[in-house]
Each structure stands twice: as structure tokens, then as C-alpha cells.
A and B are shown apart, each in its own frame.
Chain A
Amino acid sequence: MTDFKELDPLLHQSLRLAVMSLLASVVSAEFVYLREKTGSTAGNLSVQLDKLQTAGYITIVKDFNGKKPRTSCAITPVGKAALATYVTALKTYIQL
């Protein structure tokens, strides 16, 4: 019998999973980039980013690019490990 692993509820949500997948492929990305690529609203994205940061999956740095405020996000080693575990768990459900 296949051993079904529980899926991380924090990652098992479309926008948070999209953000984590994007951040796993780059060094860092700005809020604008994440919003554009995920096609989400600023409000929803902001809420989900906060949740990921609280869990220690991502880091958020707020600074200024000239006079413009800038929010940069990057995945943490904890986040990378969580995403890897999530993908491994997915594989137990779907035969790849």
C-alpha cells in the first residue's frame, strides 16, 4: 500500500503555492513581479506573503528604489525544504 503523506496546508493553496514556486526559481523577486506573474490582486497577495513570512518560508525586505518604495521577497532554506517536501508528498498521490 502507498504511504500517503499529508500535504502542507500552508502550501496547499493556489496563490501561496504559485508564489513559492516562483521564488524557488529566482534569487529574489519584487512584489510587482509576483503580482504580475500570478495575476493576483495586491490585497490578496499581500495577505498570503505575510502568512508565508510568518511561517519563515520567505523573507520580505522593504526599501526604496530612488523615491519609489520597493518590496523584495526571497525564499528561505526552510521554505525551500517545505516546498521540496510538498512536491515529494504530491508524488505519493500522483504516479509521475
Chain B
Amino acid sequence: MPCQENILRFYYGLYHKLVYVCSSYKSKRAMEKQLTQKESLEIIHAMVQQSRQRVGENGVFYLLWGYAALIAALAHYLLLQAGIQNPWMSWVLMPVAGVLSGIIGYRKSQQATVLTHVDTAMVYLWGAFLIVLITVLSFSGQIGFTGSYPVVILLYGLGTFVSGGILRFKPLIFGGIICWICGIAAMFSAFDVQLLLMAGAILCGYIVPGHLLYAQRND
């Protein structure tokens, strides 16, 4: 019968409307549900944990600078021993590493969806490091190469020690201390030995911690 069918259809529609109204009311109530104080603290705690940065991402910079500086220092030593003119030319590798790390850093910053306090602290630290390094190397004529290389090694130590503190990564802190020991030893050494001490400082302060840090990047 068409009339009965219409009535049935009406009640069926009404039932669905009621179900819809009830469910939307329930979800609205759930959304408006007051947080308990415990839940509030849990949210704060969870979000602070979420914002903790993956430090392993920084490993690539230590490796890039570390290997460039290690090769440059050892090449300087070998060229010096071979009696080749201007053995310090091996250090041209550093601006190349600088440009490369600049490109990697720029790409990373473009891809990053968050800027943390750790990122900002690292930019200031390595910016200051670079300014002092360039200043010492530019005026090394004034203090002499033998006097400036130990300062550079001490500076390497400062960079790794502080960044280790910022990233809370102990191998960098220990690496920084080893750099300082090498720097002090370099003050009492001949120039060629200073180059070897510099290579050792880079190995302990940058390359080993850099590899350990890099291995953590996907954790």
C-alpha cells in the first residue's frame, strides 16, 4: 500500500535524524568536556616531550668539517715534510666545506617545520666560532703560525664542548676536552708536531663524535 509505505518511510527518516542529532550532541559534549587537572599536566608533559629534537641531524656538519680539516691538516704536514712551497695551501679545502655545509644547512632550514632554541643556540655558537677562527687566521702574521695553531685547536675544543652541552651529547663534551689537551700540548711543540696534534684533536673532537651523532639520526 502506498500510504503505509509513506508512513514507514517517514518514521525511518525520523529515526535516522534522531540518531544523527544524538551522536552529534554526544561528540559536541565530548569536545566541550572539561579537562581534569591531571589531564592538563599530561598534555603539557606529552607536548614538551614531543618537541624534543632529534640531535642526530647535526652529525653531518661535524663529519663534513671534521674530514675536511683532518685531510687539510695531514696534507699540510705531508707537504711540509716533502719540502713543497706553500704547504698551507691544503687549507683551501675549508672554504669548500664551508660552502657545502652552507648549502646543506640552507636546505635543512627550508625543509624544517620548526625552529627550536637548540637551532638558534647552534647558529650563534658556530657563528661566533667562525668569526674568531677567521680573525685568528687573518692576523696569524702578527702572532706567527706557531702561536696561532694552538689557539685554533683550543677554539675547536670550545666549539665541540659547548655544542655537546647544548645537544646533551657527551662524546662531543669529551672530544672538546681532548682538543684542549692537544691545544696545550701544541703550545710546547714544533709547528709540524702542532699539525699532527691538530689532526688528533679533529679526530677526537669532530670525527668520532660526528659518527656517533650521525648514527643516532633515525632514533
> Which residues of A are in contact with B by a Cβ distance under 8 Å?
7, 12-14, 17-18, 21-22, 24-30, 32-33, 36-38, 65-66, 86-87, 90, 93-94
Interface centre among A17, A21, A28, A38 (most CB of B within 10 A): A21
B119 an interface residue at 8 Å Cβ cutoff? Answer: yes
Task: Given A18-B47, A37-B47, decide whether A26 and B114 contact each other with a Cβ distance below 8 A.
Answer: yes
Partner of B35, one of A14, A28, A32: A14
Q: How far is the CB of A26 from chain B (nearest CB, A)?
A: 5
Q: Mark B78-121, 1 if CB is under 8 A from A, else 0.
A: 00000000000000000000000000000000100111110110
* B110 cross-chain contacts in A, Cβ below 8 A: 65-66
Proximity bits, B32-47, A CB within 8 Å = 1, else 0: 0011011111011011
Q: Does B142 make an interface contact (CB < 8 A)?
A: no
What are 16 contact pairs spanning A and B, CB under 8 A? A13-B35, A18-B46, A22-B47, A25-B116, A26-B116, A27-B117, A27-B119, A27-B120, A28-B114, A28-B115, A32-B113, A33-B114, A37-B47, A37-B50, A86-B40, A94-B41
Q: Is the interface of B mostly helix, strand, loop or mixed?
A: helix
